[in-house]
Amino acid sequence: MVQIPHIRVAELLPRYEVVLLDAYGVLVTLDGPLLGARALIDRLNRSGQSYFMLTNGAARLPENAAVRYQGFGLAIPPERIITSASLLTAYFRDQGLSGRRCRVLGPADSLCYVELAGGRVVGLNEPFDVLVVCDQSGFPFLETVDDTISRLIEMIEAGRPAAMILPNPDLMFPTGRGFGITSGSIALVIEAALALRYPNRPELRFARLGKPYAAIFEEAARRAGSRAMVMIGDQLETDIRGAQDFGIDSALVMGGVVSTDAIGGDQPQPTWLLDSLEM
Protein backbone atom coordinates (compact mmCIF):
# COMPACT_ATOMS: atom_id res chain seq x y z
CA MET A 1 0.00 0.00 0.00
CA VAL A 2 1.28 3.47 -0.90
CA GLN A 3 1.96 5.58 2.16
CA ILE A 4 0.75 9.14 1.69
CA PRO A 5 2.78 11.60 3.77
CA HIS A 6 1.15 13.79 6.38
CA ILE A 7 2.09 17.45 6.28
CA ARG A 8 1.22 20.61 8.20
CA VAL A 9 -0.11 23.69 6.44
CA ALA A 10 2.93 25.74 7.46
CA GLU A 11 5.14 23.24 5.63
CA LEU A 12 2.83 22.97 2.62
CA LEU A 13 2.44 26.65 1.66
CA PRO A 14 6.10 27.43 0.80
CA ARG A 15 6.21 24.54 -1.69
CA TYR A 16 3.75 26.16 -4.14
CA GLU A 17 3.18 29.50 -5.85
CA VAL A 18 -0.62 29.18 -5.77
CA VAL A 19 -2.97 27.62 -3.22
CA LEU A 20 -6.45 26.45 -4.26
CA LEU A 21 -8.95 25.95 -1.45
CA ASP A 22 -12.25 24.16 -1.41
CA ALA A 23 -14.98 25.81 0.67
CA TYR A 24 -17.28 23.35 2.45
CA GLY A 25 -15.44 20.75 4.45
CA VAL A 26 -12.15 22.65 4.23
CA LEU A 27 -12.76 26.24 5.31
CA VAL A 28 -16.36 26.20 6.50
CA THR A 29 -19.49 24.22 7.29
CA LEU A 30 -23.01 25.63 7.40
CA ASP A 31 -22.34 26.64 11.01
CA GLY A 32 -19.09 28.55 10.58
CA PRO A 33 -15.34 28.27 9.98
CA LEU A 34 -13.40 25.08 10.58
CA LEU A 35 -10.38 24.87 12.83
CA GLY A 36 -7.41 26.76 11.39
CA ALA A 37 -9.33 28.41 8.54
CA ARG A 38 -9.11 31.97 9.87
CA ALA A 39 -5.39 31.72 10.56
CA LEU A 40 -4.76 30.27 7.09
CA ILE A 41 -6.65 33.02 5.24
CA ASP A 42 -5.00 35.71 7.40
CA ARG A 43 -1.57 34.29 6.61
CA LEU A 44 -2.27 34.12 2.87
CA ASN A 45 -3.57 37.71 2.86
CA ARG A 46 -0.57 39.01 4.83
CA SER A 47 2.02 37.17 2.76
CA GLY A 48 0.54 38.09 -0.60
CA GLN A 49 0.76 34.47 -1.74
CA SER A 50 -1.65 33.82 -4.60
CA TYR A 51 -4.71 31.82 -3.61
CA PHE A 52 -8.24 31.13 -4.81
CA MET A 53 -11.28 29.49 -3.33
CA LEU A 54 -12.33 26.93 -5.92
CA THR A 55 -15.87 25.96 -5.04
CA ASN A 56 -18.49 23.83 -6.73
CA GLY A 57 -21.07 25.96 -4.94
CA ALA A 58 -23.43 27.61 -7.43
CA ALA A 59 -25.84 29.28 -5.01
CA ARG A 60 -24.05 32.59 -4.32
CA LEU A 61 -22.43 35.22 -6.50
CA PRO A 62 -18.78 35.84 -5.51
CA GLU A 63 -19.59 39.19 -3.87
CA ASN A 64 -22.35 37.64 -1.76
CA ALA A 65 -20.22 34.62 -0.90
CA ALA A 66 -17.44 36.98 0.23
CA VAL A 67 -19.83 38.77 2.59
CA ARG A 68 -20.88 35.45 4.10
CA TYR A 69 -17.30 34.29 4.60
CA GLN A 70 -16.35 37.64 6.09
CA GLY A 71 -19.12 37.06 8.63
CA PHE A 72 -17.21 33.92 9.61
CA GLY A 73 -14.01 35.94 10.00
CA LEU A 74 -12.59 34.82 6.65
CA ALA A 75 -11.45 37.91 4.70
CA ILE A 76 -11.63 36.40 1.21
CA PRO A 77 -12.11 39.04 -1.52
CA PRO A 78 -14.71 38.30 -4.24
CA GLU A 79 -12.02 38.21 -6.93
CA ARG A 80 -10.43 35.24 -5.18
CA ILE A 81 -13.64 33.18 -5.31
CA ILE A 82 -14.10 31.01 -8.42
CA THR A 83 -17.46 29.25 -8.47
CA SER A 84 -18.63 26.48 -10.76
CA ALA A 85 -21.57 28.65 -11.84
CA SER A 86 -19.18 31.31 -13.15
CA LEU A 87 -18.29 28.78 -15.88
CA LEU A 88 -21.82 29.04 -17.30
CA THR A 89 -20.92 32.16 -19.29
CA ALA A 90 -18.34 30.37 -21.42
CA TYR A 91 -20.53 27.26 -21.70
CA PHE A 92 -23.58 29.21 -22.91
CA ARG A 93 -21.40 31.05 -25.44
CA ASP A 94 -19.75 27.89 -26.76
CA GLN A 95 -23.01 25.94 -26.97
CA GLY A 96 -25.05 28.76 -28.51
CA LEU A 97 -27.52 28.89 -25.61
CA SER A 98 -27.78 32.67 -25.23
CA GLY A 99 -31.39 33.84 -25.22
CA ARG A 100 -32.78 30.34 -24.62
CA ARG A 101 -35.50 29.73 -22.01
CA CYS A 102 -33.94 28.30 -18.84
CA ARG A 103 -35.44 26.52 -15.86
CA VAL A 104 -33.03 27.02 -12.96
CA LEU A 105 -33.07 24.98 -9.76
CA GLY A 106 -31.47 27.07 -7.06
CA PRO A 107 -31.87 30.31 -5.09
CA ALA A 108 -31.86 33.88 -6.46
CA ASP A 109 -28.11 34.09 -7.09
CA SER A 110 -28.27 30.91 -9.20
CA LEU A 111 -30.79 32.62 -11.43
CA CYS A 112 -28.47 35.64 -11.68
CA TYR A 113 -25.61 33.40 -12.86
CA VAL A 114 -27.77 32.06 -15.70
CA GLU A 115 -28.92 35.55 -16.68
CA LEU A 116 -25.32 36.78 -16.68
CA ALA A 117 -24.47 33.86 -18.97
CA GLY A 118 -27.12 35.03 -21.43
CA GLY A 119 -29.94 32.66 -20.53
CA ARG A 120 -33.57 33.79 -20.18
CA VAL A 121 -34.82 32.48 -16.85
CA VAL A 122 -38.45 31.32 -16.83
CA GLY A 123 -40.75 30.32 -13.99
CA LEU A 124 -41.36 26.78 -12.82
CA ASN A 125 -44.71 26.66 -14.62
CA GLU A 126 -43.33 27.81 -17.97
CA PRO A 127 -41.83 25.85 -20.90
CA PHE A 128 -38.04 25.74 -21.09
CA ASP A 129 -35.25 24.79 -23.49
CA VAL A 130 -32.41 24.49 -20.97
CA LEU A 131 -32.37 22.95 -17.49
CA VAL A 132 -29.69 24.23 -15.10
CA VAL A 133 -29.48 22.47 -11.72
CA CYS A 134 -27.39 24.76 -9.52
CA ASP A 135 -28.37 23.98 -5.94
CA GLN A 136 -30.65 21.94 -3.70
CA SER A 137 -32.25 25.04 -2.11
CA GLY A 138 -34.53 27.83 -3.25
CA PHE A 139 -37.48 25.76 -4.52
CA PRO A 140 -40.10 23.25 -3.28
CA PHE A 141 -38.04 20.10 -3.67
CA LEU A 142 -40.35 17.17 -4.48
CA GLU A 143 -42.88 19.21 -6.46
CA THR A 144 -40.15 20.81 -8.58
CA VAL A 145 -38.19 17.62 -9.27
CA ASP A 146 -41.35 15.71 -10.20
CA ASP A 147 -42.49 18.48 -12.56
CA THR A 148 -39.03 18.82 -14.09
CA ILE A 149 -38.82 15.09 -14.89
CA SER A 150 -42.32 15.17 -16.36
CA ARG A 151 -41.49 18.19 -18.54
CA LEU A 152 -38.26 16.62 -19.74
CA ILE A 153 -40.10 13.46 -20.79
CA GLU A 154 -42.72 15.52 -22.63
CA MET A 155 -39.96 17.32 -24.52
CA ILE A 156 -38.13 14.11 -25.40
CA GLU A 157 -41.38 12.54 -26.66
CA ALA A 158 -41.91 15.64 -28.82
CA GLY A 159 -38.44 15.25 -30.31
CA ARG A 160 -36.90 18.34 -28.68
CA PRO A 161 -34.92 17.26 -25.60
CA ALA A 162 -33.66 20.06 -23.34
CA ALA A 163 -30.02 20.87 -22.78
CA MET A 164 -29.17 19.88 -19.19
CA ILE A 165 -26.36 21.57 -17.28
CA LEU A 166 -24.96 20.81 -13.80
CA PRO A 167 -22.49 23.41 -12.53
CA ASN A 168 -22.05 21.62 -9.18
CA PRO A 169 -21.52 17.85 -9.52
CA ASP A 170 -20.95 17.32 -5.75
CA LEU A 171 -23.20 14.61 -4.33
CA MET A 172 -23.03 15.55 -0.65
CA PHE A 173 -21.41 17.99 1.75
CA PRO A 174 -20.68 18.21 5.48
CA THR A 175 -23.17 20.41 7.31
CA GLY A 176 -21.46 20.57 10.70
CA ARG A 177 -24.22 18.39 12.15
CA GLY A 178 -23.88 15.59 9.61
CA PHE A 179 -24.22 15.56 5.84
CA GLY A 180 -26.61 16.85 3.20
CA ILE A 181 -27.25 16.17 -0.48
CA THR A 182 -26.39 18.68 -3.18
CA SER A 183 -27.40 19.42 -6.76
CA GLY A 184 -25.29 16.51 -8.03
CA SER A 185 -27.59 14.07 -6.25
CA ILE A 186 -30.64 15.77 -7.79
CA ALA A 187 -29.08 15.38 -11.23
CA LEU A 188 -28.50 11.67 -10.59
CA VAL A 189 -32.18 11.23 -9.72
CA ILE A 190 -33.22 12.96 -12.95
CA GLU A 191 -30.73 10.95 -15.03
CA ALA A 192 -31.86 7.68 -13.43
CA ALA A 193 -35.50 8.47 -14.23
CA LEU A 194 -34.68 9.26 -17.85
CA ALA A 195 -32.50 6.13 -18.17
CA LEU A 196 -35.36 4.01 -16.84
CA ARG A 197 -37.69 5.31 -19.54
CA TYR A 198 -35.08 5.62 -22.30
CA PRO A 199 -32.45 2.89 -21.65
CA ASN A 200 -30.87 3.34 -25.08
CA ARG A 201 -30.43 7.12 -24.89
CA PRO A 202 -27.06 7.64 -23.09
CA GLU A 203 -26.95 11.25 -24.34
CA LEU A 204 -29.72 12.20 -21.90
CA ARG A 205 -27.24 13.30 -19.29
CA PHE A 206 -26.13 16.55 -17.69
CA ALA A 207 -23.09 18.48 -18.86
CA ARG A 208 -21.00 18.81 -15.70
CA LEU A 209 -18.87 21.94 -15.19
CA GLY A 210 -17.30 22.08 -11.73
CA LYS A 211 -14.61 19.99 -10.07
CA PRO A 212 -13.28 17.46 -11.05
CA TYR A 213 -13.59 18.79 -14.61
CA ALA A 214 -10.82 20.90 -16.08
CA ALA A 215 -12.55 24.23 -16.77
CA ILE A 216 -12.53 25.48 -13.19
CA PHE A 217 -8.83 24.62 -12.77
CA GLU A 218 -8.04 26.29 -16.08
CA GLU A 219 -9.74 29.47 -14.87
CA ALA A 220 -7.66 29.43 -11.67
CA ALA A 221 -4.45 28.94 -13.67
CA ARG A 222 -5.44 31.77 -16.00
CA ARG A 223 -6.05 34.18 -13.13
CA ALA A 224 -2.90 33.13 -11.27
CA GLY A 225 -0.66 33.04 -14.34
CA SER A 226 0.86 29.82 -13.02
CA ARG A 227 0.24 26.08 -12.79
CA ALA A 228 2.53 25.65 -9.76
CA MET A 229 -0.57 24.99 -7.66
CA VAL A 230 -1.81 22.73 -4.91
CA MET A 231 -5.49 21.92 -4.38
CA ILE A 232 -6.58 21.60 -0.74
CA GLY A 233 -9.87 19.72 -0.54
CA ASP A 234 -11.90 17.18 1.39
CA GLN A 235 -13.39 15.04 -1.40
CA LEU A 236 -11.50 12.46 -3.44
CA GLU A 237 -13.86 12.41 -6.42
CA THR A 238 -13.96 16.18 -6.96
CA ASP A 239 -11.03 18.00 -5.34
CA ILE A 240 -8.38 15.28 -5.55
CA ARG A 241 -9.40 13.70 -8.86
CA GLY A 242 -9.71 17.14 -10.43
CA ALA A 243 -6.22 18.14 -9.34
CA GLN A 244 -4.79 14.79 -10.44
CA ASP A 245 -6.39 15.02 -13.90
CA PHE A 246 -5.19 18.63 -14.28
CA GLY A 247 -1.65 17.61 -13.40
CA ILE A 248 -1.22 19.46 -10.10
CA ASP A 249 -0.59 18.33 -6.53
CA SER A 250 -3.32 18.00 -3.92
CA ALA A 251 -3.76 17.82 -0.17
CA LEU A 252 -6.70 16.01 1.46
CA VAL A 253 -8.08 17.47 4.68
CA MET A 254 -9.15 14.59 6.90
CA GLY A 255 -12.39 14.55 8.86
CA GLY A 256 -14.72 15.68 6.06
CA VAL A 257 -16.67 13.56 3.59
CA VAL A 258 -13.87 11.03 3.04
CA SER A 259 -13.50 8.08 5.39
CA THR A 260 -10.02 6.87 6.29
CA ASP A 261 -11.02 3.60 4.60
CA ALA A 262 -10.70 5.33 1.21
CA ILE A 263 -7.06 6.30 1.73
CA GLY A 264 -4.81 3.96 -0.25
CA GLY A 265 -7.78 2.39 -2.06
CA ASP A 266 -8.81 2.40 -5.70
CA GLN A 267 -9.98 6.03 -5.67
CA PRO A 268 -7.71 8.95 -6.64
CA GLN A 269 -5.13 9.58 -3.96
CA PRO A 270 -3.76 12.94 -2.78
CA THR A 271 -0.13 14.02 -2.74
CA TRP A 272 -0.43 14.99 0.92
CA LEU A 273 -2.67 14.42 3.94
CA LEU A 274 -3.63 17.28 6.27
CA ASP A 275 -5.04 16.35 9.67
CA SER A 276 -6.38 19.92 9.93
CA LEU A 277 -5.66 23.43 8.69
CA GLU A 278 -3.82 24.32 11.89
CA MET A 279 -0.37 25.73 11.21
pLDDT of residue 25: 86
CA atoms within 13 A on the CB side of 74: 27
Phi, psi of 10 (to 5 degrees): -60, -30
C-alpha 172: how far from its chain's center? Answer: 11
Residue 24: the pLDDT is 86
Q: How far apart are the first and last CA of the chain?
A: 28
Give the pLDDT score at 267.
79
Closest CA to 36 of 67, 10, 64, 68: 10
* Domains of the chain, earliest start first: 9-56+227-274 (3.40.50.1000), 86-208 (3.40.50.1000)
Amino acid 279: pLDDT: 75
CB half-sphere exposure, 24, CA atoms < 13 A: 26
Q: What's the pLDDT at 179?
A: 84
What pLDDT sits at residue 258?
52
DSSP codes of every residue in 137-191: -SS-HHHHHHHHHHHHHHHHHTT-PPEEEES----EEE-SSSEEE-HHHHHHHHH
CB atoms within 10 A of CB 6: 12
Give pLDDT < 70 ranges for the chain: 1-2, 176, 255-265
The pLDDT value recorded for residue 232 is 97
Give pLDDT, residue 29: 83
pLDDT one-digit tens code per residue, 7-50: 999 999 999 999 999 998 899 987 889 989 999 999 999 999 99
Exposure string of 103-117, with b = 16+ CB inside 10 Å and e = fewer, is: bbbbbebbbbbbeeb
**Pairing label, strands 172-174, 179-181:** antiparallel
Phi then psi for 110, rounded to 5 degrees?
Answer: -65, -40
Q: Is the full-model pTM beyond 0.85?
A: yes
